[in-house]
Structure 1
Amino acid sequence: MIRNLAAGVQAFTSNAFLVSGPPRADAPATNDGGDAGRRVLVDTGANFDVVPRVEEHVDDLDAVILTHTHPDHVGNVEAVCDAFGVETWGFDADQPAVDNAIPDEGTVELGLGSYEALHTPGHKDDHLCFYDEAAGVLFAGDLIFQNGGFGRTDLEEGDRDALIRSVDRVRGRVGSDLAELHVGHGPSVLDSPYDHVELAARAARTR
């Protein structure tokens, strides 16, 4: 199960996805305490209190996984780690918000799924996407958005050519059977998400 805990927040924030397995048949009626799988927050968002939103659905977290370390994605890291006693994982452990490094093509467990980490610079040097081939689920961070949107390259570490290569890498890794595209800002794409990946690849080439 994937829930965007930043939905409806008006402050400047990224999306923050809580990933967990489906509730067991014997799960308590409150607090979803029987969720199966590895309970992970993909990005923490910023400028709102995400901790009680996590607690509405699960009673604990196993890890925080970061697509990249722009402030809007990691602003709540300290609060989340303090509340749940968890560590963070991202591409570059030299970044203050990252406790543990995930290598390119490394595997991370989210909910009941096994995701491949894809290093995808261009928006930021430490950017990762996460893809579960079996489930057809892609967390694209700020690389790809709905309707062919793509990450900004006018910020520090931005590089349009690198971003194009990263989008092409993702496009080549996923297939037309992609079922879910979860993005860093805006709505997730559940209807023909591969078309949006292809659109982003074309749009990024438009100078």
Structure 2
Amino acid sequence: MTTVRNIAAGVRSMTSNAFLVDGERAVLVDAGSDFDAVARIEDATGSIDALVLTHTHPDHVGNVESVVEAFGVDIWGYDPDHPLVDHAIEDGETVRLGDHDFEALHTPGHKDDHLCFHSAEAGILFAGDLVFANGGFGRTDLPEGNRETLVDSIEYLLATLDETLSAMYVGHGPAVDSNPLYHVELAAQAAKMG
């Protein structure tokens, strides 16, 4: 059975959440920054099979080098031209995280290379920095940020999701395990108002 743990939990630094998805294929979704991700992975599962990125902002990739060095894993992300990305994941492509297949959704607006990962079977969404709990949504005031594009990406995400969604893991802040679809709908409304 797939389990998801935030190995960045409790860290007091400028880091994203970093989700260790355990199961048939142990995968780290985002590496976080400025904490000992290697030790936390070793304590939790001993090792990982791959590192998947929602996007390449520094707070999500700061620990990439140490994770790759420790576990010898390849890095998967949207932009194969980015120096950290070994293998491209295209929109609509399927990736194995834990015990389930997840559809990759290209969702720019916060950053051009942003991906969300959704498994209808598992009822899980990795939302990166697109949407957050309580209707929060990703910043658009950074390079490559664009509010209109972000709104389109949230709408694209909503078109993919349904009531079977039971857990949403976000790039910052708490995971949402109570009616996560409602939180995505709130984010869509809030982003349109800005």
TM-score, length basis structure 2? 0.98
Match of 1:65 in 2: 52
TM-fit CA distance, 1:93: 1.1
1:169 to 150, 156, 169: 156
Q: Distance in 1 between matches of 2:156 and 2:135?
A: 15
Could you tell me how far apart the structure 1 residues matched to 2:126 and 2:178 are?
15
- Residue 187 of structure 2 aligns with which residue? 200
CA distance in 2 between partners of 1:190 and 1:95 (Å) = 33
In structure 1, what is the Cα distance between the partners aligned to 2:63 and 2:87?
17
1:107-151 deviation line (CA, Å, top 9, x unaligned)? 100000100000000000000000001111000000000000000
In the other structure, the counterpart of 1:3 is 5
Say which of 19, 22, 34 aligns to 1:20.
Answer: 22
Following TM superposition, by how much is the alpha carbon of 1:83 offset from its aligned partner in structure 2, in angstroms? 0.1
Structure 2: distance between partners of 1:38 and 1:116: 16
CA distance in 2, matches of 1:64, 1:173: 24
Aligned partners of 1:110 and 1:176: how far apart in 2? 21
In the alignment of these two chains, the number of paired residues is: 192
Residue of structure 1 in register with 2:168 after alignment: 181
Q: Deviation of residue 183 (structure 1)? A: 0.1
> Out of 117, 129, 135, which is 1:130 matched to?
117
Provide the secondary structure at the position in 2 that maps to 1:205.
helix
What pairs with 1:24-173 in structure 2 (closer than 5 Å)?
Answer: 37-173=24-160
Choose 1 or 2 for highest CA Rg: 1
Which residue identity does 1:17 align to in structure 2? F
Q: Is the 8 A contact 2:165 2:180 kept in 1?
A: yes
User: What amino acid is the match of 2:99?
Assistant: L
Tell me if the contact between 2:120 and 2:164 (Cα under 8 Å) persists in the aligned partners. no
TM-score (norm 1): 0.92
Runs of 4+ in 1 over 4 A off after TM superposition: none
Structure 1 counterpart of 2:10, one-letter code: G
Residue in structure 2 matched with residue 25 of structure 1 by the alignment: none
Give me the CA root mean square deviation: 0.6
Unaligned runs of 5+ in 2: none
